[in-house]
Structure 1
Amino acid sequence: MQKRKALTELTLQELQDRKQRSKGVLIGLGLVMLLACGTLIYLAIRVEKGAPFIAIASGCAMMFLPMIAYKNQLDTEIKKRNT
């Protein structure tokens, strides 16, 4: 299995490529998650025992935290290299 390079070992171009890729993934998954959460909230309103749907919809946002943290690490590493 191939090891992932640390961010400090990557070139500036590789960092910028990873930043663009992670931004695209966040936008794509964000749109899908927004649609899914909307559907879950709609079902929670329409179904008599729909409270679990609201809990699932609010918990889905937690999925984005690792990806946002990774993007912030990329941003700080790019800023270090540019200064």
Structure 2
Amino acid sequence: MKTNKLSDLTLEELNKQKSTLKGVIIGFSILFLFAFIVLFYLIYKNGNYVLLACLPPGIFAMLPAVMRLSQLNTEIKSRKSDLA
């Protein structure tokens, strides 16, 4: 498996990864929002509060993508400050 160190990538590649990852995060966020609305509806309708246990894993599933986006933003910002 090929590992991509951020320091080895060019600024264009970093920006491309950033835009791709941002689109993935937005898409999954919309999907999770829809799933959470359905889940809350099922909890309200059936009174089955055990379904609340499904909420934290759904939120934590996005954490690695958000952390990677933060790393990309930091690397891009440091490269732009080096150029200036």
Q: Which runs of 5+ in 1 are unaligned?
A: none
Q: Which runs of 5+ in 2 are unaligned?
A: none
Aligned-CA RMSD value = 1.0
Q: How far, CA to CA, are the matches of 1:57 and 1:43 in structure 2?
A: 13
- SS state at 2:62 partner: helix
**8 Å contact kept, 1:41–1:57:** no
How many pairs align?
81
After superposition, the C-alpha distances for 1:27-81 in whole angstroms (9 at most, x for unaligned) are 0000000000110111011113x11212212431111111100000000000110
TM normalised by structure 1 equals 0.91
Tell me: higher relative CO, structure 1 or 2? Use CA pairs within 8 A at least 6 residues apart.
2
Identical residues among aligned pairs (%): 35
Which residue in the other structure is 1:57 paired with? 55
1:66 to 36, 61, 64: 64
